[in-house]
Amino acid sequence: MKVLISTPRRAPALAPGLAVLGVVLAVVAFLSVTQGSRDIGLGEVLGALGSWTDDGTTNTTVTLELRVPRTLLGILVGAALGVAGAILQGVTRNPLADAGIMGINSGAAVFVVFAITVLGLRGVGVYVWFAFAGAIAALILVYAVASLGREGATPVKLALAGAAVTAGLGSLTTGIVMTNVDALNELRFWQVGSLAGRYAPILTGVAPFLIAGLIASLAFGRVLNGLALGEDIARGLGQRVGLTRVAAFGVVAVLAGAATAACGPIVFIGLVVPHMARFLCGPDYRWILPYSMLLAPIVLLLADVIGRVVVPPDELQVGVVLGLLGAPVFIGIVRYGRMSEA
């Protein structure tokens, strides 16, 4: 896999960077709780968090029931998408791999459409479980298709299988919703990618999956470093490449599946953040993964805050803001990487 920045960094120089990112994340989380169409002061926030009881005032209700769950979900979902993107790029050795390319978003959308059109179900709280199942099913399908043949699931076959499954499921979803107005309206609400309206029940529903996946992901740094050198070298180092890919795809299915189910398909986080992490810490996945885990929620929460304050009292969904900001940022990263390699 070709990385943007390949200069090695030493561990003592990288550890303080994680601490700095942790502080930045705390600041951004504070902004996420206090900023929006209704500004809430620090004293009110601390009072609400200290008592953790709703005293009936509007600001306390907004803090405890809306913004705190939204912020916590943003942290978990951002970390999950950033780490899932880094793992996918390492496993497939494809710098453009992310949840959308590997069929996760399309699989989730198909199952949501099934819930709407066949079962007649409504509501984000219901969609989350169908989207989760669809994301996992799509990723399993991608790996199964890529595994056909003597060579097994090579990086090229994984990328091609992901593109094929994404296109097929996307066409199926489009065909269904174009003939069903209710499905079109409901899917459009879910598919925009948003943290708004995701209350505590959704947070508590997906949090165990996200936390478990994030903890498990930290064990993949060394094996992803081996895969980055090529399959033959990885096998020579004693790695079981097939088993490594299966385990990595399992973790990605949990992370990206739960994140996509909770908030819809959020673009650019899984694609751009791993490259930002490489820019900061080099090509070592033992550092790329934790750096991505902190960088991604910073980017996601900042985009969410921007979406709340640019068009008050309305707001832009975080998926829209990331789409507007992510493209030029990614172009800049790619451009800088090319200049560094020249």
CA–CA separation, 264 and 108 (whole Å): 8
The fraction of the chain above a pLDDT of 70, given in percent, is 84
> What's the whole-number mean pLDDT along residues 32-46?
71
State the DSSP string of 44-83: HHHHHHHH-S--S-HHHHIIIIIIHHHHHHHHHHHHHHHH
> What's the whole-number mean pLDDT along residues 15-36?
90
- The pLDDT value recorded for residue 274 is 92
- The pLDDT value recorded for residue 8 is 47
Q: What is the pLDDT of residues 94-103, one digit of tens each?
A: 887 888 888 8
> What's the whole-number mean pLDDT along residues 228-249?
77
In this structure, the dihedral spanned by the alpha carbons of residues 26, 27, 30 and 35, taken in order and rounded to 10 degrees, is -150
Domain ranges of the chain: 71-315
pLDDT above 80 for 131: yes
- 3-state percent helix, strand, coil for the chain, nearest multiple of 5: 75, 0, 25
Q: Which two tokens stand for residue 208?
A: 């165990």
SS3 category, 217:
helix
For residues 141 and 219, the answer to whether their CB atoms sit within 8 Å is no
Identify the residue with better confidence: 223 or 200: 223
pLDDT above 60 for 211: yes
pLDDT above 50 for 225: yes
Where residue 136 falls among pLDDT bands split at 50, 70, 90? confident
CA distances (Å), 52 to each of 34, 43, 57, 72, 301, in order?
16, 14, 13, 15, 22
For residues 109 and 120, the answer to whether their CB atoms sit within 8 Å is no
Contacts (Cβ under 8 Å, ≥6 apart) of 55: none
Q: Give the distance, in angstroms, between the CA of residue 295 and the centroid of all CA atoms in the same chain.
A: 11
SS3 category, 270:
helix
- The pLDDT value recorded for residue 291 is 96
- The pLDDT value recorded for residue 53 is 58
CA–CA separation, 104 and 257 (whole Å): 7
Question: CATH 1.10.10.10: does it fit domain 71-315?
Answer: no
Q: What is the pLDDT of residues 62-76, one digit of tens each?
A: 677 778 888 999 999
- The pLDDT value recorded for residue 285 is 92
pLDDT above 70 for 82: yes
Maximum mean pLDDT: which of 16-25, 137-146, 223-232, 275-284: 16-25
State the DSSP string of 233-248: HHHHTT--HHHHHHHH
Where residue 22 falls among pLDDT bands split at 50, 70, 90? very high
Local structure of residue 266 (DSSP, 8 states)? -
Where residue 52 falls among pLDDT bands split at 50, 70, 90? low
CA–CA separation, 64 and 126 (whole Å): 23
Identify the residue with better confidence: 193 or 225: 225
Please name which of 283, 246, 251, 260 lies closest in space to residue 142, comparing C-alpha atoms. 246
- The pLDDT value recorded for residue 303 is 92
- The pLDDT value recorded for residue 310 is 83
- The pLDDT value recorded for residue 339 is 40
pLDDT above 70 for 50: no
CA–CA separation, 147 and 162 (whole Å): 12
123: alpha, beta or left, given left = phi > 0 and alpha = psi -120 to 50? left
Identify the residue with better confidence: 210 or 15: 210
Q: What is the pLDDT of residues 137-193, one digit of tens each?
A: 998 898 888 888 777 777 788 888 888 999 999 888 888 888 877 777 777 767 777
pLDDT above 80 for 222: yes
Where residue 324 falls among pLDDT bands split at 50, 70, 90? confident
Q: Which two tokens stand for residue 60?
A: 């306390």
CA distances (Å), 307 to each of 65, 311, 321, 326, in order?
19, 7, 6, 14
Q: Which two tokens stand for residue 165?
A: 């499954």
Q: What is the pLDDT of residues 185-206, one digit of tens each?
A: 777 767 777 887 777 888 888 8
Where residue 228 falls among pLDDT bands split at 50, 70, 90? confident
CA–CA separation, 1 and 222 (whole Å): 15
Chain position carrying tokens 């502080």: 23
- The pLDDT value recorded for residue 260 is 86
SS3 category, 220:
helix
Q: Which two tokens stand for residue 128?
A: 């989350």
Average pLDDT over the chain, rounded to an integer:
81
